[in-house]
Amino acid sequence: MLKGFKDDDRPPDPRCLESREMPATFLRFESPREQVAFPYASLIKVEMARDETALELSFVTHRVSVTGRKLAEIYHSVTDVQARLVRVVSNEFAGNPAVPTYRALVHGIRIDALDAEERRKQ
């Protein structure tokens, strides 16, 4: 239980990020349409917009674009190889003002396969 909160008063957790202290082998992405996992070994670059609303992860064969708010939490968890799962926020949390504003909130995930020319450029 969080200090200072009763169980009923605890702010809801949108659970857009699951992480652990030990390094993860795969990074999973979940949206209403798909579930995909990529090995961390194929991650070659992570970029985040200054306003923390967009995150781009470049893997050897795919590009993953994540949009939302406060994505620095995810950025740091990925760069520390601790993120296990990034998921789109469920509808019950999407417009809920009780969701803590300091937590990452993922609105969308787009996964694009790179063609042969794009892979050579990386």
Residue 36 counted as domain residue: yes
Sheet arrangement for strand 17-19: 17-19, 83-87, 26-30, 35-39
- Inter-residue contact 98 to 12 (CB < 8 Å): yes
Q: Which pair of structure tokens corresponds to residue 56?
A: 């781009």
Instruction: Convert the pLDDT of each residue in 53-66 to its tens digit.
Output: 999 999 999 999 99
- Is 16 a member of any domain? yes
Model pTM score: 0.78
- Mean pLDDT of all residues in 91-95: 59
Q: For the chain, what is the domain count?
A: 1
pLDDT by residue (tens digit) across 19-34?
877 788 999 999 989 9
Per-residue pLDDT, 93 = 56
Is 7 inside a domain boundary?
no
Report yes or no on 101 lying in a domain.
Answer: yes
